[in-house]
A and B are shown apart, each in its own frame.
Chain A
Amino acid sequence: MTFAKTLTKVIGAATLLAGVVALSNLTARAEEEQPNPTRQQWTFAGAFGKYDKAQLQRGFKIYKEVCSNCHELHIPIRTLAQPGGPELSVDEVKALAASYTVKDGPNSSGEMFDRPGRPSDYFPAPFANPEAAAAALGSAPPDMSLLAKARKYERGFPAFVFDALPVPGGMYQELGPDYIYAILHGYEKDEDPNWNAYFPGHKIAMAKPLTDGQVDYTDGTPATLDQYAKDVASFLYWAAEPTLEDRKSLGVKVMIFLLVLSCLMYFTKRTIWSDVAH
């Protein structure tokens, strides 16, 4: 049994050592890098989350007036009228689409031609190709259609475990919008418009894009950077996840169904096994 005891001790010690080694540097590493974004309140978070239509419309206004000058948003214009989104009216979407000029063709004589946009068109890109964007701006701005799902930050152990669970403070799936919100707040040095507290390495190609009062809000919402950041991050999350409301509302029904089914299955199983010692 001495071998057994030694073996247990060796395994225990080695596992512990590996764990300690792995955890020791974590805090040190976090301090060297940029701070983590802080978690914001979003209407679309949680199991019953829904988008705030008015907020998405404001976010779209910011996209249209500011972001779209440099960023592509590769989604069809018609989606703005879909349920579970900004829900513009069909006429509004038609008028909006017509305000864009779209290259189409070739026509019967083989020529490309310009025509007014239709709701089924995608939002036109500000540059012909990423190379043109890079030539004009220094580096090509990312397409915004999936931006809110393509960004995250390291949560570390044990936070990442709770992010998946339905516990208080858990179910955290909005790292992308929080990152975008933080970036828009991260321009802290007036002398350097390309310095961002939250961007890895702090040097961001996008100079401070939004300031207080830049975009007019007509619904009485305060025209502040903080509000802009929230609204545009929400809009981008909708752009990346336009089926969120369908998904969550179906999910609640599915979970209720499965819970009831599990109970029925359990009692049926118990009855079937009741005359068997097991």
Chain B
Amino acid sequence: MHGLSTFEPKNGVVKWLEARLPILSFGYDSFVAYPTPKNLNYWWTFGAILSFMLIAQIVTGVVLTMHYTPEATMAFSSVEKIMRDVNWGWLMRYAHANGASMFFLAVYIHMFRGLYYGSYKNPREVLWILGVIIFLLMMATGFMGYVLPWGQMSFWGATVITNLFSAIPLVGDQVTVWLWGGYSVDNPTLNRFFALHYLLPFAIAAVVGLHVWALHVTGQNNPDGVDVQDIKKDCVPFTPHATMKDGLGVTVFLLLYCWFIFFTPNYLGDADNYIPANPMKTPPHIVPEWYFLPFYAILRSIPDKLMGVIAMFGAIAVLAFLPWLDTSKVRSAKYRPLYKKLFWGFVLVGIGLGYCGAMPAAEPYVTASRILSVLYFGFFAVLPILPKFERTLPVPATIAEAVLAKSESVKTAAAK
């Protein structure tokens, strides 16, 4: 979508800089003149929302780091100091803790949007895979961040998750000891998790850079899933159109985010994490943060530890293969009646798995999570053969045509 730079420097300083580092024309072409399909809906504002959340997490996180002590006997009380004694410390911490949840909420919506409109398909495979990598990095960052307050759920969550690596054949135990920096989760574990929790967000930012780069090479997908034919007819410039729409999306999302920060700040957390970590006392139910629950349910649905771990990581890894699993020529679910049903079934399965993950590992939840795990993978198994049975609806030739059809159907509806 590049190669149509209309950036013409007039100012002498800008000309001087352009000849040496064309960063201003790059910024102009990427965020001002960049053509964006005019039929994008509000689900497309989640990219901007996620960029905002990444920055919010880094800013609040850096401030929190200035007051936090990554040492097993002091971590918990340093967090309490932040809450009680640091000016606006409660705001920073609640914003950061709830920010993680909002980040995941936004990323799940963003991923489901990609899934619904076939945004992973040719030519956007690399864009999609970069997204899966960001998701993995986010999960690692979120998990390690949850360990830092060194509460009961921090400690026992870390114990359960790091123990998964002991399932690796032959070297499992050595790997786990290496991860812990000792023979159990302890101060060295907390130290390295802190170091990595500070490092990974910058890795995420770097991959986000690649993600946006790849996006700007292929251009955005759109709700009708048809390629841009004529930039003049099908697109609008990014600024002011997309900038303003994204700004509105971010503001409305902020309403939700601030609701959690100011009125229900502990709703998404676990009460047990207000009890300092105690290696001698296991909580009755060890539950991860809500955004890990579907994968936690898949892990627990298999009695064999190694197979459970493989299934859990497989549930994420399979996403990377989606561009080749889905063989349909039509991108958008709008024109794929069968896939649309399957998609909503998949959403329900995800929510069901999340619910089972939050419940104790007992009947009836074990059976329920087994059924749902099979359905989760079933979704991906059915995709390659789906086009054989699916009669897709006629796809508009261009975005302009799709927009025209939409406005006409609105007119007919109004006339009736």
- Interface on A for B, CB 8 Å cutoff? 1, 3-4, 7-8, 11-12, 14-15, 17-19, 21-22, 24-25, 47, 74-76, 79, 142, 145-146, 149-152, 157, 163-164, 166, 171, 173, 175-176, 200, 240, 242-243, 246-248, 250-252, 254-255, 258-259, 261-262, 265-266, 268-269, 272-273, 276-278
Interface of chain B residues 214 through 271 with chain A (CB within 8 A): 236, 240-241, 244-245, 247-248, 251-252, 254-255, 258-267, 271
Which of B39, B80, B367, B375 touches A146 (beta carbons < 8 Å)?
B80
Stretch at the interface among B51-59, B123-131, B356-364: B356-364
Stretch at the interface among B107-115, B134-142, B165-173, B345-353: B345-353
Which residues on A sit within 8 Å (CB–CB) of B404? 277
Stretch at the interface among B18-26, B83-91, B202-210, B326-334: B83-91
B272 in the interface (beta carbon within 8 A): yes
Given the complex of chains A and B, what is the CA–CA distance between A53 and B365 in angstroms? 46
Q: How distant is A22 from chain B, measured CB to nearest CB, in Å?
A: 4
The reply to whether B275 and A150 contact each other, CB–CB distance below 8 Å, is yes
Which residues on B sit within 8 Å (CB–CB) of A254? 258, 262
What would 13 A/B residue contacts be, using CB atoms closer than 8 Å? A4-B338, A17-B371, A21-B367, A22-B368, A74-B80, A146-B80, A151-B271, A163-B267, A166-B263, A247-B265, A262-B251, A272-B241, A278-B403
Of all chain B residues, which has the CB nearest A148? B274
B390 in the interface (beta carbon within 8 A): yes
Given the complex of chains A and B, what is the CA–CA distance between A244 and B117 in angstroms? 43
Which residues on B sit within 8 Å (CB–CB) of A18? 352, 356, 367-369, 371-372
Given the complex of chains A and B, what is the CA–CA distance between A200 and B360 in angstroms? 15
Supply 16 further A-B pairs (C-beta < 8 A) apart from A152-B271, A171-B264, A278-B403. Answer: A7-B338, A15-B345, A15-B352, A22-B368, A150-B274, A150-B275, A251-B258, A258-B251, A262-B252, A266-B248, A269-B248, A276-B236, A277-B38, A277-B403, A277-B404, A278-B236
Which residues on B sit within 8 Å (CB–CB) of A269? 244-245, 247-248
Which residues on B sit within 8 Å (CB–CB) of A24? 364
B341 in the interface (beta carbon within 8 A): yes
Given the complex of chains A and B, what is the CA–CA distance between A277 and B263 in angstroms? 40
Which residues on B sit within 8 Å (CB–CB) of A149? 266, 271, 274
Which residues on B sit within 8 Å (CB–CB) of A47? 263
Which residues on B sit within 8 Å (CB–CB) of A266? 248
B306 in the interface (beta carbon within 8 A): no
Which residues on B sit within 8 Å (CB–CB) of A265? 244, 247-248, 251
Ranked 6 nearest A-B pairs via Cβ: A251-B262, A150-B274, A21-B364, A152-B271, A18-B368, A265-B248
The reply to whether B364 and A176 contact each other, CB–CB distance below 8 Å, is no
Are A150 and B272 CB-contacts (below 8 A) given A17-B371, A262-B248? yes
B407 in the interface (beta carbon within 8 A): yes
Which residues on B sit within 8 Å (CB–CB) of A250? 91, 262
